[in-house]
Amino acid sequence: MTVEEAELDSARESERDENDQRGCSWKGHAHAGSVLRVSERVKTAERDVLDTRDVGRSVSVHMENHVYDFSAGAELGRELLGGKGAGLAEMTAIGIPVPAGFTVTTAACIEYVQNGRKLPPGLEEEIAAHLKGLEETAGKRFGDAQDPLLVSVRSGAAVSMPGMMDTILNLGLNDESVEGLARATGNERFAWDAYRRLVQMYGNVVDGVDAHAFEQALAALKESRRVHDDVDLRADDLRELVERFKEIYRDGTGSDFPQDPRVQLERAVRAVFDSWETPRAQVYRRANGIPDDLGTAVNVVQMVFGNKGEDSGTGVAFTRNPSTGEQGIWGEFLTNAQGEDVVAGIRTPLPITEMKDRLPEAFEQLVDTMRRLEERYREMQDIEFTVEEGKLYLLQTRSGKRTAQAALKIAVDMVEEGLISREEAVARIDPKQLDQLLHPMIDPEAHYEAAAKGLNASPGAATGKVVLDADTAEERGKAGEDVILVRWETNPDDIHGLLEARGILTAQGGMTSHAAVVARGMGKPCVAGCEGLSIDLEGRKISLDGREVAEDEVITIDGGTGEVIVGEVELVPPQINEDFQRLLGWADDARRLKVRANADTPQDAVKAREFGAEGIGLCRTEHMFMAEDRLPIVRAMIMASGEDERRETLEKLLPYQQEDFEGIFEAMAGLPVTIRLLDPPLHEFLPPLAEAESPEMARRIRALREANPMLGTRGCRLGLLYPEIYEMQVRAIVRAAAAVEGRTGAAPLVEIMHPLVAFGEELHRLRELTVRTAAEVAEVDYLCGTMIELPRACVRADEIAEHADFFSFGTNDLTQTTLGFSRDDAEGKFLTHYLDERILNENPFETLDLSGVGDLMQIAVERARSVKPDIKLGICGEHGGDPASVAFCHDLGLDYVSCSPYRVPLARLAAAQATLKEAGVGEVQVGG
């Protein structure tokens, strides 16, 4: 392999960049929930990973040039060229038929934004020089009145941002050259169709003219001509439409449509740069953790035309089914069309297999090219193509976006096919994507009647109230309501509503429409192209095959079947399939970090074990106290007049505790179980003062009231004030362990954890209580440790470790006490503002604050192991199920993470990927 080939091969796992909006041949086929790791600066966002050589090379050339031809830029990498530009350059280098063109780099965009929307010095001259080269390659002149060179101007960031930025097609036409184009091609209709598309896209993208004004004019013309589709309009009709579009442009801007092609090009480049800063792009970046300082490249590409007649067309194809992962070409296409016709729902696309009959030679070439690309990249490819008068051109290839089900099947199948290793298969699955397989589905036993049916665009099922606009979906979704966003078709401006909706239902659009692609990325169910759906926005209601449903009424959608049901239908958790189990088995072989579950009942423990948990990292005993048959006893204990009465009441509670512990120990036979003794303040078990059952209870409620209970009489402080409570719990634990060992012959692996310890002396005394009480009951093996959830406990971990067999980081409370945030108040008040304004990049209650909480954890680990090298260390906050936090725990050298049962599979995969990364076994690339 040559050096050049090796450099090209290094990009093979890179995902092709974002689909473009409106006039783009390809709107988004990308998942919304992905991560990019470009360098330390470019953190988690799309898990597209750039080759480190590309990053270094890109940085080294940033200041030399701002523009590169496709024929010369394959080795420069996507951070500089963007995903689309890098892909076009590489395809050019390996002989794939792509249109000629050049890329204006992301560095130029960054400089443009930083310099107050001023183009970098010399950029216009560089563009002009490369445009001249493009003219020589094409044998045509930009702006020529007789046979003009036309170009598209397309965005292309390093991170896929489907539909969030802008594109313009057919650039270079004007009133004079459109006539020349008609003569040169002998196709007057094609020329005027291209011109009307340019005026519409340019007007909307560059000058902000309302897109609906253009659409309404087109709809009115079709109605007056009594035709259904755009292709039924004649050349004279389109000539008339161009004049109407220019009037709309003039009304919207106060000036005529620009006739100088070079002015068009300069303003179009600016518009694409500006689209990086649009509200929708900023919302998308915030939602996906994409840095703001990456910028977008601009690709200037020679136009190839799918709208020249029935021997031309355009489409989207995948080398495997992006919904199921099944082998075989999959996609949609249209003859006599440009790309936006496929994705915008203007015309109903045809299955890609029909292309074999309509354009047989181009189809065979497409199939062969797709095979070559998949073998080269060793990944399922998403292809965007145009056929011009029988000749195939590829506009983009990238690792295709897919559902979690498809991602698993593709990874497993490619291992069996010998394309990738097991380690690579594990490395390229996004742990968060596995959530899709754990989402509810309609109960197979449920009886219901579908009111309408559309395309099964994204799997899973959801029930919620109908809402008809994205703003309402966002508002009510954030308020905790389950809503289904119902639209004619979504567009990128709906992103804020899509994020909050439980599911999406659209009347138009196909399997590659914006709604379908974004829903698949978010793991949300979507039914698209539902022909029986009509929407009455004024009346705030919809109709499903004639059945009216008002906004706020409940519907259920099944993204796996395409069915739409009026009313609520019972949903059940999905089953984990064989591909899921096999890949997680490979992950288990690779990882070092153990994965436990937080489980409070025997039922939770059983579910945790089903998901592969290797023990229980947190069993919260207070949850057992809240059961209906136990709460009265707990309240009587709290109301007791003294220790003797308290002990008497606790004896009644002990059998319940013992019964629960026995069930958990049996469910986790052979695996460790960490039981946290009572943590919350006692007032939480009493009713509000207004609901006090007696004057005595009211007095007790007042006596227990604290100004800040989170930092008050709770955790180990309860055990020291009322040792009889912890003594009862220890007796119940030891009795349960002895009983289970007696029945099964296997001794449970018991870990008794004292919460909220800040001082070594606290744990010293509570350890003595534990040892003394256990010895009075039975001889069983157990560990005694504490939950580390206070900053002082971290910095004095050495003194606490002297009395501990294990530490478990309670990162929920450790985050609160470190940041000074009350979680409920922060998330309900200012935290959203902090995230929107980028004061914080991530919610610290979802992903660990590495520079604050993470530093404290590192201090605790180092100091604890300085006095007790073999101390067991884990984490039991919800961060234990967050992939980025799991990776940090691996790097920190913890022994295990613990999370909710349904997040155990995610943690298993994330732990394996952390090990693989450390070993240098590939970089993580997720589902396209």
Q: Catalytic residue positions? A: 514, 876
Encoded tokens for 12: 């093979």
* Separation CA 121–CA 126 (nearest Å): 10
If we measure between CA atoms, which residue out of 634, 598, 656 comes closest to residue 725? 634
Give the bridge partners for 104, in sequence order: 67, 298
Q: Is the separation of the CB atoms in 391 and 917 below 8 Å? A: no
Q: Is the separation of the CB atoms in 562 and 479 below 8 Å? A: no
* Separation CA 388–CA 98 (nearest Å): 12
If we measure between CA atoms, which residue out of 563, 436, 441 comes closest to residue 31? 436
Q: How far is CA 200 from the centre of its chain?
A: 32
Q: Is the separation of the CB atoms in 880 and 889 below 8 Å? A: yes
Q: Is 418 exposed, middle or buried (0-12, 13-18, 19+ CB in 10 A)?
A: exposed
* Separation CA 149–CA 303 (nearest Å): 8
Q: From residue 901, give the alpha-carbon distance in Å to each of 41, 435, 607, 617, 881.
A: 33, 12, 7, 11, 9
Q: Which SS3 state, helix, strand or coil, does residue 490 take?
A: coil
User: Could you please report the per-residue DSSP string of 642-698?
Assistant: SHHHHHHHHHHHHHHHHHHHHHHHHHTTTSEEEEEPP-S-GGGGSPPGGG-SSHHHH
Q: From residue 176, give the alpha-carbon distance in Å to each of 172, 201, 885.
A: 11, 19, 60
* Separation CA 155–CA 301 (nearest Å): 11
If we measure between CA atoms, which residue out of 798, 807, 804, 785 comes closest to residue 862? 798
Q: What is the 3-state secondary structure (H, E, C) of 373-414?
A: HHHHHCCCEEEEEEEECCEEEEEEEEECCCCHHHHHHHHHHH
How large is the angle between the packed helices 404-416 and 578-590, nearest 10 degrees? 70
How large is the angle between the packed helices 261-275 and 106-114, nearest 10 degrees? 80
* Separation CA 24–CA 403 (nearest Å): 23
- Phi, psi for residue 626 in degrees, rounded to 5: -85, -5
Q: Count CA atoms within 13 Å of residue 216 on its CB side.
A: 6
Q: Is 772 exposed, middle or buried (0-12, 13-18, 19+ CB in 10 A)?
A: exposed
**Segments of 468-568 assigned E as strands:** 483-487, 503-506, 526-528, 533-536, 541-544, 547-550, 554-558, 563-566
* Separation CA 45–CA 81 (nearest Å): 18
Q: Where are the alpha helices (DSSP H) in 403-501?
A: 404-416, 422-427, 470-478, 495-500
Amino acid (1-letter code) at residue 917: K
Largest distance between two CA atoms of the chain:
104
Q: Count CA atoms within 13 Å of residue 146 on its CB side.
A: 3
If we measure between CA atoms, which residue out of 73, 129, 133, 134 comes closest to residue 106? 73
